[in-house]
Structure 1
Amino acid sequence: MRAAYIQNGLVRLGDMPDPIPGKGQALVRTHSCGMCASDAHFLHAGETIIALSRSHGGPYAGLDFARPFVPGHEYVGEVIDYGPGSACKVKPGRKVTSIPIMRQSGAHAIVGFSHDCPGGFGEYMLLDEDMMLEVPSDLDDDLAALTEPLAVGLEHARRGRPTKDDVVLVLGCGAIGLGVIAGLELLGIAPVVAADFHQDRRDLAIAMGAEIAVDPREISPYAPLPDLGGWRVNLVYENVGMPGMLQQIISSVGFDARIVMGGYCMEPEQLLVFAAQNKRLNIQFAGGEEPQDMQLALRAIADGRIDVRPWLGERIGIAGVAQAMADMSGPSAPIRTIVDPRLTPG
């Protein structure tokens, strides 16, 4: 199959072996796949990420940075076939998405970060049939591909155990932060304050349901806010993933605040326990989505409760992956560029 793949920190274009499904595995033809920041992280920090997984336990321990792998873990595709002995729960020809995890046939891999389970930047994928969710036939492929990133935000939102007495702050309005805001909106939680350096991201935060969006260089989101009658935030969702963020939040929040750490920081974080203890803070670390979050995300996109159309940017073929990854860190980058391996032969 044709694919865009990563090898030794470079994006390459070429032929990869066609995946062959085993028992419990579905062969799926990729329709649309979102480009996530974690895909780009592997270009400059892949060896570090792999080493951390091997030292501390993590999903990337089985990767060899010198060997090619096909990224892409936010996808929708068409079921083509199954491996022998599979239950075949979704009929061939139907569209599916899934949590990007493979546990069938003795495997334990992350789809898109595995040498054996290629991701959506290639023509074909292997998916775990127990993880698959059938996508409504009339749902646009590009919208369906946003199920996974939205589900991560929904997971983070519920991890904070928000109540209607909370005043919430969401730091960072990329896909995950916007997903958190959408999840809070579904739960009926308000008010929500969003903070981001970029005006377009703040505009998106308002569109997703935030009441206020501030530039933290101009207004401290931790101070009493006049637009909220002088109330201060007491529940903070961190979606930035930069070293120093946790201590900054600890120093800024009030007593009995709750902090949900969703940003993926791969550098050591130094914090003053004394300050956190004196304020009696509760710090919750959020992880990836679970099946309930994927199900809710897909339903909410399909029935229109969450409109993720503003997240969509350019649609590209696999030949455009390298340039799109290079461009995705800029302030004008869309929330999601969509890769369709069917667009160009490469």
Structure 2
Amino acid sequence: MKAAYFIDGRVEVGSMPDPTPGKGQVLVRTHSCGMCASDSHFLTSGKHVIELCKKHGGPYAALDFSKAFVPGHEFVGEILDYGPGSRKPLRVGSKVTSMPLMLKDGGHAVIGYDNHCPGGFGEYMLLDENLMIEVPAELDDDIAAMTEPLAVGLEHARRGAPTKDDVALVLGCGAIGLGVIAGLKLMGIGPIVAADFHESRRLLALDAGADIVIDPKAQSAYEPLPDLGQRQVNLVYECVGLPGLLQNIIQSVAFGARIVMGGYCMEPDQFLIFAAQNKRLTVHFAGGEEPQDMALALQSICDGRVDVSKWVGARIGLNGVGKALSELSGPAAPVRTVVDPRCQ
């Protein structure tokens, strides 16, 4: 198959072996795959991530960075075949997406970050038949590929156990922050405050359902807010992933606040426990999506409760992957660039 793959910190485009499904596995032709910031981070810092997983535990410990692997974990595709002895829950030709996991050997591999489980930057993928979910045939492929990043935001939103008495603050309005806003709206939580340095992302936050947007350079999101009758935020979702942010939140929030750490920070960080204790703060650490989040994400996209159409920017073929990864960050970058591996 043709694929854009990573090897030793480089992006190459070429031929890779066609994957062969085993029992319980599904061979899928990829239609569209979102490009995530974690793909860019892994390209430049993959060795560091692997070492962290080996030392502290994590899903990437077995990945050999010196050997080719095909990234891409936000995908939609078409079922071509099943491995022998599979249950075959959906008909061949069905359009599907999935959590990017393959269950095996009592554990799991992360699709797109495993040398033997190619992701959506390749023409073909293997999925776990027990984790895939059917996508309506009429749903646009690029929109369907937003199911997984939206599901991550939905998981983060519920991790904070929000109530109708909360005033939530979302820090960072990329795909995950926008997903958190969408998740809070689906649960009937409000008001929602969103903060981002870039005006374009603040506008997207308003579209997603935020009630107030704040430029952190111009205003503190933690002070009593006149537009909310001087109420203060008490539930903070950190969706950035930079060292120092947790301590900044701790010293800024009011007594009794709750904090959800959703941004991936792969550097050592420090915070003053004394300050958090004195304020009686609660900190939750959010992770990836679970099956219930994938189901809700796809359902809410299909029924129109969540509009992810403005997330999708450029659409590229395999030869554009390297350049697009290098331009992934910054205020001008779309929330998601999508890759169609059927195109060169």
- Pairwise TM-score range, normalised by the shorter structure: over 0.9
* 2:127 maps to 1:127: yes
1:272-304 per-position Cα deviation (integer Å, ceiling 9, x unaligned): 000000000000000000000000000000111
Identity, % of aligned positions: 68
Quick check: 1:77–1:96 contact (8 Å CA) kept in 2?
Answer: yes
SS in 2 for 1:274: helix
Aligned-residue offset at 1:108: 2.2
- TM-score, with structure 2 as normaliser: 0.99
In the TM superposition, 1:209-228 aligns within 5 A as 209-228=209-228
Q: Find the counterpart in structure 2 of residue 341 from structure 1.
A: 341
Unaligned 5+ residue runs, structure 1?
none
Q: Find the counterpart in structure 1 of residue 197 from structure 2.
A: 197
SS in 2 for 1:112: coil
SS in 2 for 1:72: coil
Kindly tell me the number of residue pairs found equivalent between the two proteins.
344
Aligned-residue offset at 1:143: 0.6
Aligned-residue offset at 1:44: 1.2
In the TM superposition, 1:1-346 aligns within 5 A as 1-104=1-104, 108-344=108-344
Give the letter aligned to residue 210 of structure 1.
A
SS in 2 for 1:63: coil
Quick check: 1:316–1:337 contact (8 Å CA) kept in 2?
Answer: yes
- Matches of 2:85 and 2:333, distance apart in 1: 44
- Matches of 1:71 and 1:129, distance apart in 2: 20
1:55-75 per-position Cα deviation (integer Å, ceiling 9, x unaligned): 111010011111110000000
Quick check: 1:318–1:340 contact (8 Å CA) kept in 2?
Answer: yes
Quick check: 1:7–1:65 contact (8 Å CA) kept in 2?
Answer: yes
Give the letter aligned to residue 8 of structure 2.
N
Aligned-residue offset at 1:145: 0.3
- TM-score, with structure 1 as normaliser: 0.98
CA RMSD of aligned residues (A): 0.8
- Matches of 1:225 and 1:216, distance apart in 2: 13
Aligned-residue offset at 1:229: 1.0
SS in 1 for 2:293: helix
- Matches of 1:107 and 1:237, distance apart in 2: 30
- Matches of 1:81 and 1:121, distance apart in 2: 19
Give the letter aligned to residue 317 of structure 2.
G
- Matches of 2:233 and 2:264, distance apart in 1: 22
1:293-319 per-position Cα deviation (integer Å, ceiling 9, x unaligned): 000000000111100000000110011
Aligned-residue offset at 1:249: 0.2
User: Relative to 1, partners in 2 of residues 1:105 and 1:248: Cα closer, same or farther, differing over 3 Å?
Assistant: closer
Quick check: 1:23–1:105 contact (8 Å CA) kept in 2?
Answer: no
Aligned-residue offset at 1:42: 1.1
SS in 2 for 1:103: strand
- Matches of 2:69 and 2:268, distance apart in 1: 27
Aligned-residue offset at 1:106: 6.2
Quick check: 1:22–1:105 contact (8 Å CA) kept in 2?
Answer: no
The 10-residue stretch of structure 1 (317-326 or 97-106) with the greater mean CA deviation from structure 2: 97-106
Aligned-residue offset at 1:105: 6.7
1:197-256 per-position Cα deviation (integer Å, ceiling 9, x unaligned): 000000000000000001001000001111111111000000000000000000000000
Unaligned 5+ residue runs, structure 2?
none
1:159-178 per-position Cα deviation (integer Å, ceiling 9, x unaligned): 00101100110000000000
Aligned-residue offset at 1:107: 6.5
Quick check: 1:104–1:128 contact (8 Å CA) kept in 2?
Answer: no
1:257-279 per-position Cα deviation (integer Å, ceiling 9, x unaligned): 00000000001110000000000
- Matches of 1:320 and 1:331, distance apart in 2: 20
- Matches of 1:134 and 1:90, distance apart in 2: 8
- Matches of 1:267 and 1:235, distance apart in 2: 24
SS in 1 for 2:143: helix
- Matches of 1:20 and 1:288, distance apart in 2: 27
- Matches of 1:52 and 1:106, distance apart in 2: 22
- Matches of 1:81 and 1:283, distance apart in 2: 44
